[in-house]
Amino acid sequence: MSYPNSYQNGTEFGVVAPYDNTTLTITPSQTAGARPAGIPYTVTLNQGQTYQLLDSAGGADLTGTEVQSDKPIAVMGASSCGNVPEYVSYCNYLIEEMVPVGLWGQVFGTVPLADRLRGDTFRILASQDGTQVSINGTPSATLAAEITLTPS
């Protein structure tokens, strides 16, 4: 998951391999450079090596890109120029380590930021079609999956 960039830079993600001969299978959610959307490709990394995929189109978002690996890895999603919230022009660098889908939570607590007069910004990603989102117990949305999970 990343956040759409505001200007000419796109979103990106990086992968770090802690083990030799780690094979990644990556399926981009949208075309990024020479990597077409929806077409899986493989990359092999050794211990300490990294891989980066950058979508350089302004306003682009690689959220939903699937990264699978035959060994443990760390994946960081990033945006080099995100405006959060979108109507405020800050162009901040945003980065966060991704959590494997099997560890995604279903219940979250939040504390509002004091200076946000229009409320806080949340992005919610569904791994399954028909995911129900409720806020304070009130149904708010039904989401379609933004990623496709394949059995291993």
Q: Is residue 87 part of a domain?
A: yes
Q: Is residue 152 part of a domain?
A: no
pTM for the whole thing?
Answer: 0.81
Residue 152's pLDDT is 37
Coil vs helix vs strand at 12: strand
Tokens 């094979």 — which residue?
23
- The Cα–Cα gap between 78 and 62 comes to 9
Residue 149's pLDDT is 46
What is the residue range of 86's domain? 11-143
8 Å CB contact between 69 and 24: yes
Looking at the structure of the chain, the number of domains it has is 1
Provide the total of helices (H) and of strands (E) in the chain, helices listed first: 0, 9
Residue 151's pLDDT is 38
Q: Is residue 55 part of a domain?
A: yes
Residue 8's pLDDT is 64
Q: Is residue 104 part of a domain?
A: yes
Residue 64's pLDDT is 87
Cβ neighbours of residue 69 under 8 Å, at least 6 residues apart?
A: 15, 17, 22, 23, 24, 25
Q: Is residue 3 part of a domain?
A: no
- The Cα–Cα gap between 99 and 25 comes to 17
Reading the chain (152 residues) residue by residue, the pLDDT tens digits are 777 676 666 788 999 999 999 999 999 988 888 899 899 999 999 999 999 998 876 666 888 899 999 999 999 998 887 777 777 777 788 888 998 888 888 888 888 888 877 777 777 888 889 999 888 889 989 998 875 544 33
Distance of CA 115 to the CA centre of its chain: 26
Q: Is residue 4 part of a domain?
A: no
